[in-house]
Amino acid sequence: MKEQLEQLKNKVLEEIKKIQDPKLLGNLEKEYLGRKGKLTKILRKIKDVSAELRPVVGKLANEIKKDVSAAFQEAEIKLKTRYQNSSEFFDPTLPGIVPPSGHLHPITQMLERIWEVFRSMNYDLVLGPEIENDYYNFQALNVPPDHPARDMHDTFYLKGARGVKRERGKYGDLLLRTHTSSISQVRTMEKRKPPIRIMATGKCYRRDDDISHTPMFHQFDGIAIDHNITFADLKGTLHYAMRELLEEEVKVRFRISYFPFVEPGAEFDVTCTICGGRGCPTCKGTGWLEMGGCGIIHPNVMKAAKYDSKKWKGFAFGFGVERPAMVKHRISDIRALFENDLRFLNQF
């Protein structure tokens, strides 16, 4: 009987160690210590043991019962503390659970910075429709139908789209706007009298998709119209803005270029922030990064807005928002910005 007791004790202690669930622990306790439990049954048989052995066996049996009960109690406390919910048990010394906090997308951060910089130069923010018509996206900007400049602005047309009322007459077909120039030049000019300084931002769409182009992207356009605006004002404005946005002492250069809505027109570049202008793969060895287009507003655009181009002069410029964000954060693939992968986004 002595061996039987020892064996039973070892077995139950082993089993207690393995149990992870308080409910199962309760069942096990019943199985051994309950009224019909295995240990209880053996204890009941002690009275049948011979009189001389009875005190020794009895003592051992009691000790074993005490040990087993204690093991059950200890295991119960251990499991309960682990499974206890906070309303029953609060340990003020445990470190708190930090709630996950979101932050602005790098594009939104860049947009807000752009607004801040231009607001400090007295520019007023205006928005416009993403579904634009042919007139404001092209014609009013001196890009008539069949003009070759439309090739680079292939977009998504909504001709005959269900639920979209087709605009008629001079406004032409509906399309997803290809730039934000349509908001600043003509749309807003029509509504306001000069002198004006306005900035327009928003999503734009083109039939493009590669490492540096996405079908949807963001643009920023600005115009300033007054009596004596010159190209020098445009240069000074862009130089200041680029330094503020990229937070680096970049140089800005202007290259003669063609945009139908400005004359003269130029593209502007900044010194490559990756290599400091020495030449690297990002700037394709040139030391410069192309940022956008600019120029003096074309008389035909002034005419479309019913401004007297003899009395008023203005400059215009436009650039993508993704590019400065990529340059600033050294992001090599534009598509990463729109994949919504938190492992990427949480770095900014």
**Please, what is the minimum distance in Å from the beta carbon of residue 143 to ligand DAH?**
10
For residues 261 and 141, the answer to whether their CB atoms sit within 8 Å is: yes
Q: CA 189 to CA 193: how far, in whole Å?
A: 7
Instruction: Give the closest residue to 327 by CA, choosing from 254, 260, 261, 269.
Output: 269
Q: What is the dihedral of CA 77, 81, 83, 87, to 10 degrees?
A: 130
User: Which CB atom, from 16 or from 262, has the smaller least distance to ligand DAH?
Assistant: 262
| Closer of 179 and 187 to ligand DAH (Cβ) | 179
* Residues annotated in a binding site: 263
Distance from C-alpha of 265 to C-alpha of 292, rounded to nearest angstrom:
11
Segments of 144-215 assigned E as strands:
174-176, 196-205
If the CB atoms of residues 141 and 337 are measured against ligand DAH, the closer one turns out to be 141
Minimum distance of ligand DAH from residue 191's CB (angstroms): 18
- The H-assigned helical ranges of 120-219 are 134-137, 181-182, 189-191
| Smallest distance from ligand DAH to CB 94, Å | 55
Shortest distance (Å) from residue 179 CB to ligand DAH: 4
Which residues define the annotated binding site for Mg(2+)? 263
Binding positions for ligand DAH, rule: CB under 6 A? 179, 181, 221, 259, 262, 292-295, 316-318
Alpha helices (H) in the chain, listed in sequence order: 2-18, 22-33, 38-44, 54-83, 106-119, 134-137, 181-182, 189-191, 231-246, 299-304, 322-329, 342-345
For ligand DAH, the closer of residues 221 and 322 by Cβ is: 221
Nearer to ligand DAH, 298 or 328 (CB): 298
Nearer to ligand DAH by Cβ, of 208 and 248: the residue is: 208
CB of 141 to ligand DAH, least distance (A): 8
Write down the least CB distance from residue 153 to ligand DAH, Å. 7
Strand order of the β-sheet with 262-271 is 124-126, 196-205, 216-226, 313-320, 288-297, 262-271, 252-257
Tell me the Ramachandran region of residue 18: left when phi exceeds 0, alpha when psi lies from -120 to 50, beta otherwise.
alpha
